[in-house]
């Protein structure tokens, strides 16, 4: 624990600020295994308020600021920075503990990657059961996500080309309750303690009053046709967001989100569409054309090789069998 010296006047000022500063949504700073000087370097001058600092390595959260302590009792006045530690609200401390429990049970990692699979055993609750999951987390061809373009339900391609379908998926994730059985079955590598910690954090994230910018909670969402896209929890805004460049069709091909991605960053990219579903190829051709690609197609094509020609600023996709 830090030893802090400060004047009565400084204390009154800081406590007054603490009483008036709103804590509706707090973005905490990070400082791992920090010394007093290191904490002081990342917090405000008390005249401007205070900051919350999470030290996960030391399992502590600070509510602090610094003051300039002037000692003029000697022959020469000295000025030193002193760290002020304020009492941390119980609600903030409880919120920090939810993050910490995931960190402590996941190999001291600031976050996690969870898999949400769609299979017959990972189905959605029927509409008559309200907004909670029946038993598992996942996506199925049921009407919980409204019908889209390809197989009668939203898939990864739809979320890339349709902002409405992407938002529908985000809303679905945001409004559903996560259960320990769902996490355990979809993520067999998670131990019981980590499953419990993640479930607790997931189901309270809308009420969390503190967030950490370096804490990443991401989900590989598999849609009913086998396509996937990664979504991340946005704790600060209490929602989910799609992670750019992570959408894949049922064949495992990256679904381009811009011209550069079609050719793997203005290079070369090969796409394989052998097997079902057939609409993956059709979707790719339409999407590549929308990004300006010249398509050399044939009725029997099952693969495409897309190349960016820098000398002519052209994107060419050639069919391969």
- pLDDT at position 25: 73
274 lies in some domain: yes
25 lies in some domain: yes
80 and 178 assigned to the same domain: no
104 and 84 assigned to the same domain: no
113 and 76 assigned to the same domain: no
216 lies in some domain: yes
In angstroms, the CA 281 to CA 300 distance is 11
- pLDDT at position 117: 61
280-319 pLDDT, tens digit per residue, is: 999 999 999 999 999 987 767 889 999 998 878 889 999 9
Do 53 and 96 meet the contact criterion of CB atoms below 8 Å apart?
no
Query: What is the number of domains present in the chain?
Result: 3
- pLDDT at position 128: 23
218 lies in some domain: yes
Nearest CA to 245 out of 228, 233, 267 is that of: 228
- pLDDT at position 265: 86
DSSP state letter for 321: -
Q: Which residues pair with 268 in a beta bridge?
A: 307
265 and 313 assigned to the same domain: yes
168 and 232 assigned to the same domain: yes
208 and 312 assigned to the same domain: no
Helix (H) or strand (E) holding 79: strand 78-85
200 and 133 assigned to the same domain: yes
177 and 278 assigned to the same domain: no
228 and 290 assigned to the same domain: no
Domain boundary among 88, 121, 142: 88
252 lies in some domain: no
32 and 161 assigned to the same domain: no
**For the chain, give me the number of helices (H) and strands (E)?**
9, 13
229 lies in some domain: yes
- pLDDT at position 48: 93
| Sheet strand arrangement including 51-55 | 78-85, 60-71, 51-55, 26-30, 210-212
169 lies in some domain: yes
Nearest CA to 217 out of 204, 206, 232, 205 is that of: 232
In angstroms, the CA 300 to CA 27 distance is 54
- The residue segments making up the domain with residue 238 are 97-242
Domain boundary among 88, 123, 151: 88
24 and 79 assigned to the same domain: yes
79 and 117 assigned to the same domain: no
- pLDDT at position 94: 94
Domain boundary among 207, 242, 277: 242
Low-confidence ranges of the chain (pLDDT < 50): 1-10, 12, 14, 16-23, 118-148
249 lies in some domain: no
């Amino acid at each position: 624990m830090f030893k802090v010296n400060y004047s009565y006047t400084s204390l009154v000022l800081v406590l007054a600020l603490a009483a008036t500063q709103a804590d509706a949504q707090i973005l905490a700073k990070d400082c791992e295994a920090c010394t007093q000087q290191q904490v002081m370097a990342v917090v405000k001058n008390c005249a401007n308020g205070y900051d919350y600092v999470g030290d996960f390595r030391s399992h502590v959260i600070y509510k602090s600021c610094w003051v300039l302590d002037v000692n003029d009792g000697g022959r020469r006045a000295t000025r030193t920075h002193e760290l002020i530690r304020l009492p941390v609200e119980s609600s903030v401390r409880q919120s920090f503990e939810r993050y910490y429990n995931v960190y402590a049970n996941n190999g001291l990692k600031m976050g996690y990657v969870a898999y949400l699979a769609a299979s017959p055993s990972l189905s959605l609750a029927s509409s008559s059961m309200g907004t909670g999951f029946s038993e598992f987390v996942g996506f199925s061809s049921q009407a919980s996500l409204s019908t889209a373009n390809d197989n009668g339900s939203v898939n990864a391609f739809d979320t890339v080309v349709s902002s409405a379908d992407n938002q529908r998926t985000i809303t679905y994730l945001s409004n559903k309750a996560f259960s320990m059985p769902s996490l355990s079955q979809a993520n067999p590598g998670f131990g019981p303690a980590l499953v419990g910690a993640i479930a607790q954090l997931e189901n309270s994230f809308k009420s969390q009053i503190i967030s950490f910018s370096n804490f990443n909670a991401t989900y590989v969402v598999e849609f009913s046709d086998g396509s996937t896209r990664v979504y991340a929890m946005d704790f600060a805004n209490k929602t989910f967001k799609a992670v750019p460049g992570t959408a894949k069709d049922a064949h495992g091909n990256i679904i381009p989100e811009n011209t550069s991605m079609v050719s793997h960053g203005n290079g070369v990219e090969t796409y394989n569409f052998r097997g079902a579903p057939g609409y993956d190829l059709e979707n790719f051709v339409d999407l590549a054309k929308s990004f300006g690609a010249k398509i050399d197609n044939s009725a029997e094509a099952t693969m495409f090789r897309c190349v960016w020609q820098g000398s002519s600023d052209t994107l060419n996709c050639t069919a391969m069998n």
